[in-house]
Amino acid sequence: MLTHRLRIVAIASAALALSGCYVMQAASGQAEVIRRSEPIPHVLADPSTPAKTKARLQLVEAARAFAIDELALHDGKSYRKYADMGRPYVVHNVVATPEFSVDPRRWCFPVTGCIAYRGYFNEASARSYGRKLSMRGDDVSVEGVPTYSTLGHLPDPVFGSMLGWRDTRLVGTIFHELAHERLYFAGDSAVNEAFASVVEDEGIRRWLLHQGRAGEIGAHEAAVARQKDFAALLRDARGRLAQLYASGAPPDTMRIEKQREFGRLEFRYEQLRARWGGYAGYDGWFARLLNNAHLAAVATYEDCVPGLWHKLQAAGSLTAFYATVESTRGLDVQARHAQLCGASLGTAR
């Protein structure tokens, strides 16, 4: 308990040094996460812990051990604790774009640098800030986030909001976030996310084999293929809108064409859904009035995945693959993309 209090004081002091209500709410929210975090063994030993919760936390412990022993990932402080925040989303992220842009606005802070969203632990605060941006004329998205990572800087817990996920999503999230702790390039989201995604997918495949659940690999690969199809659909729409906004057309014309592009996106999704045999897992994404901000987070993460899969296959082992990717640390973003992704993708956002 004393250690928790010292951490809370340190976080609050840093926030005061930065000043500002936004940073203060972030510090307060993180302090609440730390206060609610309990070591998983303590939760498992507590007779009042529901049997279902114990079973899911045992799965977390097994997945974490597998990540370290079989995937050679970082054995740090993350996922050793459990935090039930009593809500489905830990934070809500606010993303905003100008009316005629698919590039997100960025907010800069002394410690974190410039980021393309603002995260709020309180949903009402997030929606209030989103309304202010909308009144200014921005396109705005406010999205709930069930978990987040501090890249090992703090002891990230398993959140209660994660325990209801299917096994592969829960286990894969642990592999993905620990992959970020294993290797991370500042300012290169494309490689960071592609690397973590490759480790996640390869980790799930190996984990299913290890668990004697090889029969589930096909279903997992089908889910990954759908995710890639959906991401490609959104990237295409984002690209079309970017061309529209760069066309120099009058504002009224762009507004009309903008709505047509979102209508086209929904039509193409219905076609994709039919190709999937009626799979409706992404229907919720369209159950709202779409705008630029909903597409702003769609980056070129998938573009690096094929090249990194090739590097993994050529390396012959995960540790050799990690070394191959790590060897590009001294390169600039374009040179790294040329070496790992197979082509120069430009500056990562």
**Does 8 have pLDDT greater than 90?**
no
**pLDDT averaged over the chain?**
88
Give the model's pLDDT for residue 11: 39
CA-to-CA distance for 284 and 288, rounded, in angstroms?
8
| 61 found inside a domain | no
Report the pLDDT averaged over residues 49-58. 97
| 160 found inside a domain | no
| 229 found inside a domain | yes
Helices (H) and strands (E) in the chain, counts: 13, 8
Burial of 72 (0-12, 13-18, 19+ CB in 10 A): middle
pLDDT in tens, 271-329: 999 999 999 999 999 999 999 999 986 655 677 888 999 999 999 999 999 999 999 99
Give the model's pLDDT for residue 298: 66
pLDDT in tens, 158-176: 999 999 999 999 999 999 9
| 243 found inside a domain | yes
Q: What is the DSSP letter of 78?
A: T
Closest CA to 291 of 243, 259, 247: 259
Give the model's pLDDT for residue 17: 40
| 298 found inside a domain | yes
**What token pair was written down for 102?**
């698919």
| 157 found inside a domain | no
| 346 found inside a domain | yes
CA-to-CA distance for 201 and 208, rounded, in angstroms?
11
Give the model's pLDDT for residue 115: 73
**Residues belonging to the chain:** 349
pLDDT in tens, 125-158: 999 999 999 999 999 999 998 888 888 888 899 9
Number of domains in the chain: 2
Closest CA to 171 of 151, 145, 200: 200
pLDDT in tens, 88-133: 999 999 999 999 999 989 887 655 556 788 999 999 999 999 999 9
User: What residues make up the domain containing 254?
Assistant: 187-349
Give the model's pLDDT for residue 189: 77
CA-to-CA distance for 312 and 122, rounded, in angstroms?
41
| 17 found inside a domain | yes
pLDDT in tens, 228-266: 899 889 989 999 999 999 999 999 999 999 999 999 999
